[in-house]
Structure 1
């Protein structure tokens, strides 16, 4: 499977969102503060990239690994969204087990995607 520029760009966008999701809480909070946005922005960035990549996998423009490695992150974010607004507060980002799980899973996805993302 040969990747073209749009697929490369999609994978880079996905990698960038995963990197931000895997950052320690302090770095995430600093990043969000610099953008003057809330914690949900990290989820929105991932969702944009994930949807794009998922579509390209469905069209067989990218290998299934791109979705297989990142689907657990989407699942966590869906659970977090269903948990309510409190999970998106700064103190929850810094201290909740959900955010810790999200960081760990994002780190694992980055490792799994290394063969696809240059």
Structure 2
């Protein structure tokens, strides 16, 4: 595996890992990076790498779960769902809890970046 592919896979794993974090940790991370009111940054990171990693065959056994996670994020998108992308929604909305469950499951089947 090329170094840039390994780096992309590592970054993707980190993005999926952040989707699995508890709401409080996600909120703290958003504050840390200077965008405390933009929960959509969590999804944007995932999206930045999802298709690229998949084109390399890098989803491994996690492919079905990652596809479900991607569908959930797509369904949550749009102006009508703006309420889902607030820091408060991270803790209160069932879609975010489902996202954490899917992300946790995906991490178990995602290939290690060291390979």
Separation in structure 2 between the aligned mates of residue 89 and residue 68 of structure 1, nearest angstrom: 27
With CA pairs under 8 Å and 6+ residues apart, which has the higher RCO, 1 or 2? 2
Unaligned runs of 5+ in 1: none
Name the SS of the counterpart of 1:117 in structure 2.
Answer: coil
Partner of residue 101 from structure 1, selected from 98, 103, 110: 98
Shift of 1:101: 0.2
Shift of 1:102: 0.2
Give the aligned length: 111
Separation in structure 2 between the aligned mates of residue 117 and residue 6 of structure 1, nearest angstrom: 11
Name the SS of the counterpart of 2:56 in structure 1.
Answer: helix
Q: Is the 8 A contact 2:21 2:100 kept in 1?
A: yes
Alignment of 1:46 onto 2:46: yes
Two-structure CA RMSD over aligned residues (Å): 1.8
Alignment of 1:76 onto 2:51: no
Shift of 1:9: 1.4
TM-score (normalised: structure 2): 0.85
Partner of 1:21 in structure 2?
19
Unaligned runs of 5+ in 2: none
Partner of 1:55 in structure 2?
55
